[in-house]
Structure 1
Amino acid sequence: MSETEPYRIQVTAVAEYVAEQSHPQDEHYVFAYHVTVLNTGETAARLLARHWLITDGNGKLQEVHGQGVIGEQPTLAPGQAFRYTSGCVLGTPVGTMQGSYRMRADDGHEFEAEIPAFVLAVPKALH
C-alpha cells in the first residue's frame, strides 16, 4: 500500500443533551449532535448518503438511512471541512450513535467514511 491515500474522510461528532425539549417522565430524551466531516485525502469527494446506528440504554437499535445530511450533499475538496448539527430522540438517558457516510470521489470511486461511535448521555447519568 502506498504512503498516500486519495480517499480519506475523518468524521468527529460531539453530542449534547437538550433539556428544554426533553421529558424524562415520559422517557423522551432529546440530544443534539455536532458533526465535522473533514476530507484528509487527496481527492475531492461528495457526501451522498448517511447510515446511522442508534442504540439506547436498553440495547434497542434504530437504523437510519437517508440521502445526504440536513438536506445537503456537500462536496469537500482536500483539506475542506463541512460542519452540521442534527438531533435524535432516545427513550433512555444514555445511548450511542455510530455509522457511515457513502462518499463519491471526483473520479467516480465510491467509498464509506466511518462515523466512530459516540455517547449520548444526560449530564451525570454516567458518573
Structure 2
Amino acid sequence: MVVAVTKGIKVSVEVTYQAEFSSPHQHHYVFTYKVTIENNSQYTYQLLRRKWEIFDAAESPKIVEGSGVVGQQPVLEPGESHAYVSGCNLKSGLGKMKGSYTMEKLFDGNLVEVIVPEFQMIANIFHN
C-alpha cells in the first residue's frame, strides 16, 4: 500500500494483479486498485475531478482526466472516508500510475490538488 497526505486528506492505494482476467500471450494485463480517501482535516471537501498519469512499459505515457471517481463526486465531512475500486489494462506486465484529485473546500470554495501517490503495477506471471 502507498499513502500520501495533502492538507489533511489522506489517499491510500492498494493494487492487485488480476491474473484470471489477463492474457499475457496477447499482451493484456489487468490490474485493479482500491483507493481510500480519508478526510483528516477540520473542513468538508468534495471531490470534483481526477487526473491520472499512466505509464506502461510497452506504450507512451497517457493522461486521463475526468469528473469525479467511478461516477461519483463524494463529499467528505471531517473524519469521513470514501473508498472505491477501479482498474487499469496494460499491454505489458509492468507499469505505474500517479495522479491527483481536485477537491473543493466547501467552507470557502477554495480548490485543492490532492496528491494520489505513485503506485506500481507488476504482473505476477507465475501466478497459479
Regarding TM over 0.5, the answer is: yes
1:88 pairs with 2:88? yes
- Partner SS state of residue 47, structure 1: strand
Which whole-Å CA distance do the structure 2 matches of 1:61 and 1:40 have between them? 32
**1:109: which partner in 2?**
110
User: Counterpart in 2 of 1:64?
Assistant: 64
User: What is the rounded CA distance, in whole Å, between the counterparts of 1:60 and 1:19 in structure 2?
Assistant: 23
TM-score scaled to structure 1, two decimals? 0.88
Unaligned stretches of 5+ in structure 1? 1-6
Count of equivalent residues: 119
C-alpha separation in 1, matches of 2:40 and 2:120:
24
* 8 Å CA contact retained: 2:19, 2:124: no
CA RMSD of aligned residues (A): 1.4
Q: TM-score, normalising length from structure 2?
A: 0.88
Please say if 1:23 is aligned against 2:23. Answer: yes
Give the distance between the partners of 2:43 and 2:21, measured in 1 at CA. Answer: 40
Once residues 119 and 70 of structure 2 are traced to their aligned partners in structure 1, the CA distance between those partners, rounded to angstroms, is 19
Unaligned runs of at least 5 residues, structure 2: 1-6
Match of 1:99 in 2: 99
Aligned residue number for residue 41 of structure 2: 41
How far apart are 1:69 and its partner, in Å? 0.5
- Over 3 Å off, 4+ runs: none
